[in-house]
Each structure stands twice: as structure tokens, then as C-alpha cells.
Structure 1
Amino acid sequence: KRRVYLTKERTEKLEEFYQSHIAFSYPDQETKELLASECGITYLQVTKWLRN
């Protein structure tokens, strides 16, 4: 299985989402799937990044 790393661009996109939703930074499954697709990473990676 090929590992996909969080590049600077991917991290910036996730950070942008987080900052724009700071009041409620725990998105639903559909939003996480959309973020994963936009960033080119897995749903699990998005979930872990938001958790940390």
C-alpha cells in the first residue's frame, strides 16, 4: 500500500478549513470525505489530522 504524505499544500488546505470553522471544527463524515478528496488524502488521514 502506497503511503500518501501530508505535503505543505495539503496541510495548508486542512488548516484553512480548520480556521474558517473554528467555532465547530468537527465536520461530519460527508465534509471529511470532501476534504480528503480535495487534498488527495484518505478519510482517515483527515480525521486524524483534525483530531490532533
Structure 2
Amino acid sequence: MQANGVPSNGLSPKDWADVESTLEMLREMRDELDRSLAYRTERRNALNAGYR
């Protein structure tokens, strides 16, 4: 059921666009964090290998 062009779930197309934008931003942040953690792990492993 629609009232005034707003779907019954209460979110307008603009609201959904905001949700999609936020999800994309979170995906990018997650990817950046994954890369950072991988880099940190590589460095730690290299340092540990140097102390053996």
C-alpha cells in the first residue's frame, strides 16, 4: 500500500538511496581496514622472522 508516493515500509526512494550510499561507504571502510590489518600482519611477521 502506498500513500503519497511513499512505500508502506516508510522509506522513500531517497531514503533507500541514502541507505545504499551508507552501505557503500561502510564497504569501503571495511576494505580499507582489511588492507590495513593485512599490512600490519605482514610487517609483524617480517619483524618476528628477523628475530629468529
Structure whose alpha-carbon radius of gyration is higher: 2
TM-score by length of 1: 0.34
What's the TM-score once normalised by structure 2's chain length?
A: 0.34
